Amino acid sequence: MANTALPQTLGQLRASEFTAALVGRSVKDELRDNLIVRLRETAKTKAPLFPGIVGYDDTVIPQIVNAVLSRHNFILLGLRGQAKSRILRALTTLLDPQSPYVAGSELRDNPYAPLSRYSKNLIAEQGDDTPIAWMTPQERYVEKLATPDVTVADLIGDVDPIKAARSGQELGSELTMHYGLLPRANRGIFAINEVPDLAGKIQVALFNIMQEGDVQIKGYPVRLELDVAIVFSANPEDYTARGKIVTPLKDRIGSEIRTHYPESIDEAISITEQEAWTARSYAAGNDAISKIEIPHYIRQIVENIAFAAREDKKVDKRSGVSQRLPISTMELVVSNAERRALIHGESTVVPRVGDIYAALPGISGKIELEYEGEMRGADTVIREIIRTSVATVFDQYFADQNTQQIEQWFNLGGTVQFDDTQSSAAVLTALKGIQGLFDKLTPFHITAKSQPEIAVSAAEFLLEGMTAHKRISRSEERAFTAAEKKQRNKDASEFAERVRDREFEDNPRNRSRRGFN
């Protein structure tokens, strides 16, 4: 129904399909009724219950459904970057598309059962001519980030002396009240993020609304029977360490639901693909970039960085490794490849493994290190994690491949350098000299005649994987050479041979023997 067709007065509302029974449902009943309809629809269409929420279909989502069906206030407990806020905001999809309220009311009063003194007086004066306004699901969602400086007045409200002076009302009158966020969320959803950060005495102010469904403002006999669904989010570590939820409030929360990080690489790739800004547009022109092509192995490596970091002993597990890490990393990886393509006038942007090393600024700020990691240095730890990730993905493609021919080429003194100052075509020309290299790129259907950007990216992945397994070495200037261990053995052997030759020459007996001969 279009907005122009919606009733604009109380009389029109009473004559419409928006009956007192429909409008008068509590928020929790409304969420429950609409969820029941949604569940039946998704069972037929197989569509996701909450679009955009990935990886929770068999774990978190069923628990949220149970909480809503039970008309519970609930809390989401999870480490950073586990989509807690997004889930809470997705609850608005279970609200009615339009909901009427008395126009001008700060409490968004139900026209059939007004709560505030303002709406009661207005309806008494204007009757069926009382103006009606409409609110969307998004307007019925109020969110507050808990901080230690939040006051009871911020959440519940306070007496406004200036309003009292201007209106000529007594301080105890409801018309002089300044309502906080919670009353203004009436007939909607009120979300508090990081609730343990709220001071204990502020949490106490939530007791009545959680159990009895009403709040009181200051010491005046103003009692508001609010209709609101309250949801919370918190970090489990904050729950027990930095801050805590006071026991009586915790007791009033109906359901405690634990979130988690993606359980598989494919789920993580889907999330990053959904969230990262990689679909970029360019102005038309002869030298314009035509497309961005991200190889699947690059996506796998980026996601594996987060998985490897969560298992690394040098990374603080209590802090967690946010899913924002691969999202930011992927954006920077594409940007570095984009920069290289723009410099060399290439039409296709194809990220390489080297671009992941260039994305260190997107990783370093998203992991907290343990003492051992701090001693090693953030950059060193991150580079080790990237190498671990490269090795893991390398094994998925080349575990059965024999790379001795490539290793031998490097052991004989061959070197190749990947540099952003070189075009992909120039690097490809150098790569063609490596014996057996392109024979090993069959998993990607790459040959020496493939598009340079794609071929170079695949070749660098192969060489980086060999480096991660210490079959060859790479300098900080991104030059691939023989493995350090083999090079050291070769140098040691040559040195020993030179020493033997010198000893042989210095021996008088050998000198005389040479003279005799």
Residue 1 tokens read as 């129904």
Position 102 scores a pLDDT of 96
Is the pLDDT at 385 greater than 90, yes or no? yes
Query: What is the mean pLDDT of the segment spanning 459-479?
Result: 91
Are 473 and 498 found together in one domain? no
| CB burial of residue 14 (10 Å; 0-12, 13-18, 19+) | middle
Is the pLDDT at 60 greater than 90, yes or no? yes
Q: What CA–CA distance (Å, rounded) separates 482 from 462?
A: 15
Write out the H or E segment, with its range, that includes residue 102.
strand 99-102
Nearest to 431 by CA among 452, 402, 412, 407: 452
Position 239 scores a pLDDT of 55
Q: Which of 234, 258, 282 is the last residue of a domain?
A: 258
Q: Which of 197, 226, 258 is the last residue of a domain?
A: 258
Position 280 scores a pLDDT of 87
DSSP state of 138: G
Residue 154 tokens read as 């911020």
Return the higher-pLDDT residue of 173 and 103.
103
Q: What CA–CA distance (Å, rounded) separates 292 from 428?
A: 19
Position 1 scores a pLDDT of 39
Are 247 and 290 found together in one domain? no
Nearest to 369 by CA among 348, 384, 391, 388: 384
Are 308 and 291 found together in one domain? yes
Are 358 and 440 found together in one domain? yes
Which residue do the tokens 């950007």 mark? 453
Q: Which of 199, 232, 258 is the last residue of a domain?
A: 258
Position 71 scores a pLDDT of 96
Bridge partners for 178 per DSSP: 158
Confidence of residue 503 (pLDDT cuts 50, 70, 90): low
pLDDT digits (tens, 9 = 90+) for 127-156: 999 999 999 999 999 999 998 889 888 898
CATH number, domain containing residue 158: 3.40.50.300
Helix (H, G, I), strand (E, B) or coil at 113: strand
Confidence of residue 330 (pLDDT cuts 50, 70, 90): very high
Are 219 and 194 found together in one domain? yes
Question: Which percentage of the chain shows pLDDT scores above 90?
Answer: 64
Are 299 and 230 found together in one domain? no
Give me the phi and psi of 480, to 5 degrees please: -90, 135
Number of domains in the chain: 3
Terminal-residue alpha carbon distance, the chain = 112
The string of DSSP letters for 8-30 reads -BHHHHHTSS--HHHHTS-HHHH
**CA-only gyration radius of the chain, Å:** 33
Are 173 and 302 found together in one domain? no
pLDDT digits (tens, 9 = 90+) for 155-192: 988 877 667 667 666 666 677 778 889 999 999 999 99
Are 340 and 456 found together in one domain? yes
Q: What CA–CA distance (Å, rounded) separates 233 from 388?
A: 33
Position 214 scores a pLDDT of 80
pTM above 0.85, yes or no: no
Is the pLDDT at 514 greater than 80, yes or no? no
Are 291 and 250 found together in one domain? no
Query: What is the mean pLDDT of the segment spanning 336-357?
Result: 94
Are 109 and 244 found together in one domain? yes
Is the pLDDT at 492 greater than 60, yes or no? no
**Cα angle 142-143-149, degrees, rounded to a multiple of 5:** 125
Are 139 and 279 found together in one domain? no
pLDDT digits (tens, 9 = 90+) for 194-242: 998 888 888 988 988 888 878 877 766 678 889 999 999 998 865 554 5
Query: What is the mean pLDDT of the segment spanning 410-416?
Result: 92
Give me the domain span that covers residue 345. Answer: 265-482
Position 497 scores a pLDDT of 59
Beta strands 472-474 and 479-482, pairing class: antiparallel
Helix (H, G, I), strand (E, B) or coil at 177: strand
Query: What is the mean pLDDT of the segment spanning 329-353?
Result: 94
Confidence of residue 243 (pLDDT cuts 50, 70, 90): low
Are 319 and 243 found together in one domain? no
Position 515 scores a pLDDT of 36
